[in-house]
Amino acid sequence: MPFATASALSALSLKIRPQVCAYVPRRANSMASHHRSPSSWDRNALIEGRHACMEALEEGVPLSRALVSEGDAALTKIVRKLGAAGVLIEHVPRSKLDQLSSHGAHQGIICETAPYSYAALADIVTRSGSGDALVVVLDHITDEGNFGAIVRSAEVVGAAGVVIAKARSASVGSGAYKTSAGAVSHIPIARVANIASTLQVLKEAHFWTVAASEHADRDVWHTPFGGRIAVVMGSEDAGISRIVLENCDFVCSLPQRGKVESLNVAQAATVMCYEWLRRISVAGDD
């Protein structure tokens, strides 16, 4: 696969710090629980147990409602705290909690995270401006822990947004709020039907598309990686799909000296994010 020259990349990249607007995600409305059957609930949005619910509240996970077992005096303190935080409290029969619980250890309380409203790809492109910008594209990452960790790294370095696939991908739920340390609330995340087509849209917005692959012949240290970059990370099992690779301008690996085969995708994404930040910082100092 041909690599663009460093001079070509430099010509298209404005040597300024990335400037992105503060991101305020919209929240969708959720139906009242008494009108919903257990099968209609998104299990990824449910947090079970007293300790887990209190931890979510303290960590700033947005909670829309708390389903509390009727007549359970032991829940008085946590119910008071949830109510003070503006969480809707609904007292329900314990049998309803049993139906919703994934493991039966709900301890009389289940909280639901507020529905997450995904951004449009156009929102991320607009937020990227015209100078240095990073977009992290995830080609069917399925592990919620990896997804949350990648979002956290992207937000920390000032990325314009994260793009995920609609199908066969981890999405924003209670686990992602926790593993991202709340970063999902501060960076736009877009869900798209086709990753390859998305890369073409990003190219039209003057992004260079870079695939991270352990099988690449060139490492990221010797790859043009400053300016406007859309870095693509592949799934935990299959990596980046062939059609997505074909739509990338560059393919690069991470240099390594040890015997372990490679970093996991979340660790690798963090390294790639910081390499981009290092490149634009060095360019800005020139």
User: Strand runs (DSSP E) across 62-148, as ranges?
Assistant: 63-69, 88-92, 109-113, 133-139
| pLDDT value, residue 40 | 57
C-alpha dist (Å) from residue 233 to 58, 139, 269:
32, 6, 7
The reported pTM is 0.77
| pLDDT value, residue 20 | 53
Dig out the tokens for 29 from the structure. Answer: 């409305």
Residue 6: pLDDT over 70: no
Write down the mean pLDDT value for the chain. Answer: 85
- Residue 111, beta-bridge partner list: 47, 66
Q: What is the pLDDT of residues 16-70, one digit of tens each?
A: 345 555 554 444 444 445 555 555 567 778 888 888 898 888 878 889 999 999 9
Residue 271: pLDDT over 60: yes
| pLDDT value, residue 18 | 52
| pLDDT value, residue 7 | 41
Confidence label for 199 from pLDDT (cuts 50, 70 and 90): very high
Confidence label for 229 from pLDDT (cuts 50, 70 and 90): very high
| pLDDT value, residue 76 | 93
Q: What is the pLDDT of residues 147-191, one digit of tens each?
A: 999 999 999 999 999 999 999 999 998 788 888 888 998 999 999
Distance, CA of 23 to CA of 44 (rounded, Å): 23
| pLDDT value, residue 103 | 72
Q: Comparing 135 with 181, which gets the higher pLDDT?
A: 135
Residue 4: pLDDT over 60: no
| pLDDT value, residue 259 | 84
| HSE-up of residue 285 (Cα within 13 Å, Cβ side) | 6
| pLDDT value, residue 8 | 41
Q: Comparing 258 with 278, which gets the higher pLDDT?
A: 278
Distance, CA of 241 to CA of 140 (rounded, Å): 9
Numbers of helices and strands, H then E, in the chain: 10, 10
Closest by Cα among 189, 62, 169, 29 to 119: 189
| C-alpha dihedral sign at 100, 103, 108, 112 | negative
Q: Are 205 and 125 in contact (CB under 8 A)?
A: yes
Say which DSSP state 57 is in: H
Distance, CA of 16 to CA of 152 (rounded, Å): 23
Encoded amino acid at 258, one letter: G
Enumerate domains of the chain plus CATH numbers: 6-23+117-285 (3.40.1280.10), 33-113 (3.30.1330.30)
Confidence label for 105 from pLDDT (cuts 50, 70 and 90): confident
Q: What is the mean pLDDT of residues 136-153?
A: 96
| pLDDT value, residue 17 | 46
- Per DSSP, the three-state class of 285 is helix
Distance, CA of 219 to CA of 197 (rounded, Å): 25
- Per DSSP, the three-state class of 105 is coil
Distance, CA of 51 to CA of 213 (rounded, Å): 40
Distance, CA of 68 to CA of 87 (rounded, Å): 12
